[in-house]
Amino acid sequence: MLEIKNLHASVDENEILRGIDLTINAGEVHAIMGPNGSGKSTLAHVLAGRDGYQITHGKVIYEGKDLLAMHPEERAREGVFLAFQYPVEIAGVSNMYFLRAALNAIRKHHGLDELDAMDFLKMVREKMKLLGMDETLMNRPVNEGFSGGEKKRNEIFQMAVLEPRLAILDETDSGLDIDALRTVSEGINRLRGPKRAIVLVTHYQRLLNYVVPDFVHVLADGRIVKSGGKELAHELEEKGYAWLEESAEPAKSGVNR
Amino acid sequence: MSAATESRTAYLAEFTRLEERLAHKLAQNADHHDAWFQRRRKEAIGRFAELGFPTTKLEEWKFTNVDRIARMPFHSTEFRADGLSSDLLADLPLAHAAFEQRCSRIVFVNGHYNPQLSSRDLPDKLIASSLASAIQHDAPGVREHLARHAGFQNAAFVALNTAFLEDGAFIEVPRGVRLGAPIYLLFVSTPDQPIASHPRSLIIIGDDSQASIVEDYLAVGDGAYFTNAVTEIVAGENSVVDHYKLQDENQEAFHVATVQVHQARSSNFTHHSISLGGSLVRNNVTVALDGEGAECTLNGLYIAAHNQHVDNHTVIDHIKPHCASRELYKGILDDKASAVFNGSVIVRKDAQKTDARQSNKNLLLSEGATINSKPQLEINADDVKCSHGTTIGHLDEDSVYYLRARGIGEREARSLLTYGFANDVLNKMKLDAVRVRLECAILARMSGGHAQVEGQ
């Protein structure tokens, strides 16, 4: 589904991603872990199409297409979803209106009829219940005045409604209390399926107790320094990242030269 | 002779013609009581002759140059019964809604009352008529209030309006009446020639009464014209008044409007000012909080593109103690549009415990758009709460990205965010028909066609 080959990306001449290679197949759940500043969020935003990154080397192939050549909205319509680490507040636009506009843009792209407000409400009601989204929250402006937990839940709710094929979750677990973490995890697990791939970008191992990944990758200094199964996450939990960062040093200087 | 002087002379000559016309009308009708008003009219034209059109040398007109108004040979027209058909009116969205709904409608075409297009049945106790006939019949409210609130000594456009006053709305809601349905005043111009209209409205809301009034200014057809409106509103003790002024004139229009409000004790006045159309627009809103415990809310939205110029001047005068005022004006400017916000809050010496908040927020969608924002506080009492602020910004690119990352196209994302910016002004509107029509108009304008809005 997704093939990242030797991806290098910079912001203002600073190279953040220094050669990422990663292959993700449908049905798989990958966790990308790493210390702060390792490039996790950059990777997530490069995949979603945020402006401001220069791709200096490499390519990303999604479902046989050149992902990096697509606008963010085209990627979304083709099934790429990024749950933001810091969801943006949108004044004056209700959560309901926003999400329906998003869903209809995607449906239109696939030649489906647009949903009116009534049909949309019918469709989302169940998903709202599952994620504990209050209907009043739906009528409030997008993320405005939401607590941290509500914002994260709202991201997962959007994912549940938009049903992406490739979901990238950027630190969706950070700042959640244990109850919220359970609800959010349940929402993620519900979306696991043979046709969908999920990428969990996280700093902590905690989320992985609830959403058990098939693969774990460690990102350090813009490169994947180690990959393994779910047990790698436990190892990181015990030992921290330091031992991996040390081993990444030579690689870093190698790139600089 | 300068263009402005020439134009002043033209208006004076026009005034002589108007007087002849009125004298002729009076001669036909022996039953008139408006000599007092004819005197006031003469005073006003005399004052206009002294003042002339304002220039940018005056502080109040520093950023708004009315030369283009002064130079155009605008003429008042006489009443034409065939000026507009009701079919055409039915195409105007809000007018159409007003037709559909239970609402008292008064229509003015080029400043003249049009009985054919106006409601025939009015609720009991409500007086809603043409001001011309109210003056002629010497309605007590008219003599007591007309031209008593909107002073023309230092306001050339008010002087001009008073001098050329022919018609407008006269609304009187007696004491203790709560009107369920809104009163809809439509001022429509048919600018097949450069016409000037000076609609004048007097709205008197009695003690303990409640009313919603919508003033809607627009045109059917293209061409330059000049609307110079003055509205005086008198809010009695403990009254609740919800007032809307919608300006959607055509692209070539000149629109100057003055709203002068007098509030008695414990009255509650809300003013929504929406400016969408016009080439050169100036709104003057002045509210006198002249009774303890009175409250006013001024809620404004101006949207301008191309070379449009919109100027909003507001004055909130806290005269008595324990009054509150809330003011929020928002502007959205694109292309080379320019706007002015000048909001003055005056707290008089006796107005202790005043609670005044003012905010002006602007969204610039292009590099060429400009805004001159000047909030002014003048505080002469020591125990008050006053705040004011201005913001000027662009669309937040993180927000654009967030919407795009959910599949919404860039253009749509920008229009949705712009609409969202305006929405808190619209959400303060209690009349759904007005709010929905504006939401549609704004979304359509932002995205060039797409307009789908649901109530929430």
- Note the pLDDT tens digit of each residue in B356-408: 999 999 999 999 999 999 999 999 999 999 999 999 999 999 999 999 999 99
- Considering only the beta carbons, identify the residue of B399, B407, B456 that sits closest to A76: B407
Nearest 5°: phi and psi at B56? -70, 0
Of all residues in chain A, the one with the smallest CA distance to B399 is: A88
- Considering only the beta carbons, identify the residue of B407, B420, B423 that sits closest to A106: B407
Query: Tokens 């993620």 — which residue?
Result: A188
Q: For residue A4, how far is the Cα from the chain centroid?
A: 15
Q: Which residues of A fall within a CB distance of 8 Å from B412?
A: 101, 105
Q: Looking at residue A237, what is its pLDDT?
A: 81
Position B83 confidence tier, pLDDT thresholds 50, 70, 90: low
- Which pTM does this prediction carry? 0.88
* Whole-number percent of chain B with pLDDT over 70: 91
Q: Which residues of A fall within a CB distance of 8 Å from B396?
A: 88
In 3D space, the residue among B408, B403, B327 whose CA is nearest the CA of residue B360 turns out to be: B327
Contacts of B426 (CB under 8 A, 6+ apart): B301, B435, B438, B439, B442
| Edge-to-edge strand list for the sheet holding A166-170 | A80-83, A166-170, A197-202, A29-33, A215-220, A223-228
| Edge-to-edge strand list for the sheet holding A2-11 | A14-24, A2-11, A54-62, A65-66
CA angle B295–B298–B300, rounded 5-degree value: 170
What count of other Cβ atoms lies within 10 Å of the Cβ of residue B294? Answer: 28
Report DSSP letters for B45-92, one per residue.
Answer: HHHHHHH-S--TTSGGGTT---HHHHHS--B-----TTS--HHHHHTS
Position B454 confidence tier, pLDDT thresholds 50, 70, 90: very low
Domain A2-256: give its CATH code.
Answer: 3.40.50.300
A94 touches chain B (CB under 8 A): yes
Kindly report the nearest CA distance between residue B422 and chain A, in angstroms: 7
B27 touches chain A (CB under 8 A): no
E strand or H helix at B141? helix B140-145
- Considering only the beta carbons, identify the residue of B402, B403, B424 that sits closest to A92: B424
Looking at every residue in chain B, the average pLDDT score rounds to 89
B412 touches chain A (CB under 8 A): yes
Q: Looking at residue B99, what is its pLDDT?
A: 56
pLDDT digits (tens, 9 = 90+) for B173-203: 999 999 988 999 999 999 988 999 999 999 9
Beta carbons of B407 and A73 less than 8 Å apart: yes
- Considering only the beta carbons, identify the residue of A77, A94, A141 that sits closest to B407: A77
B419 touches chain A (CB under 8 A): yes
Tell me the ipTM for this assembly. Answer: 0.94
Position B11 confidence tier, pLDDT thresholds 50, 70, 90: confident
* Rounded Cα distance, A37 and A149, in Å: 23
B410 touches chain A (CB under 8 A): yes
Kindly report the nearest CA distance between residue B361 and chain A, in angstroms: 13
Q: Looking at residue B449, what is its pLDDT?
A: 41
Contacts of A63 (CB under 8 A, 6+ apart): A1, A78, A79, A165
- Residue B93 or A143, more confident: A143
Please state the domain extents for chain A: 2-256
CB B182 within 8 A of CB B213: yes
* Rounded Cα distance, B96 and B81, in Å: 20
Query: For residue B27, is pLDDT > 70?
Result: no
A91 touches chain B (CB under 8 A): yes
Beta carbons of B399 and A106 less than 8 Å apart: no
Q: Which residues of A fall within a CB distance of 8 Å from B404?
A: 49, 71-73, 76
* Rounded Cα distance, A255 and A251, in Å: 6
Q: Which residues of A fall within a CB distance of 8 Å from B454?
A: 97, 117
Q: Which residues of A fall within a CB distance of 8 Å from B398?
A: 88
Nearest 5°: phi and psi at A168? -115, 120
Beta carbons of A141 and B417 less than 8 Å apart: no
* Whole-number percent of chain B with pLDDT over 90: 68
CB contacts < 8 A (A, B): 88
Beta carbons of A73 and B409 less than 8 Å apart: yes
CB B136 within 8 A of CB B22: no
CB B240 within 8 A of CB B271: no
Question: Which residues sit opposite B243 in a β-bridge?
Answer: B213, B271
Beta carbons of B397 and A96 less than 8 Å apart: no
Beta carbons of B420 and A92 less than 8 Å apart: yes
Query: What is the arithmetic mean of pLDDT over B225-231?
Result: 97
Q: Looking at residue B337, what is its pLDDT?
A: 97
Q: What is the dihedral of CA A132, A135, A141, A144, to 10 degrees?
A: -40
* Rounded Cα distance, B368 and B366, in Å: 5
CB B242 within 8 A of CB B430: yes
Position B292 confidence tier, pLDDT thresholds 50, 70, 90: very high
Q: Which residues of B fall within a CB distance of 8 Å from A82?
A: 405
Beta carbons of A102 and B406 less than 8 Å apart: yes
DSSP three-state, residue A226:
strand
Beta carbons of A105 and B404 less than 8 Å apart: no
* CA distance readout (Å), B362 to A144, B3, B114, B315: 20, 35, 38, 19
CB A79 within 8 A of CB A199: no
The list of chain A residues with pLDDT below 70 reads 245-257
For chain B, report the end-to-end CA distance as a whole number of angstroms: 59
For chain A, report the end-to-end CA distance as a whole number of angstroms: 33
Q: Looking at residue B447, what is its pLDDT?
A: 67
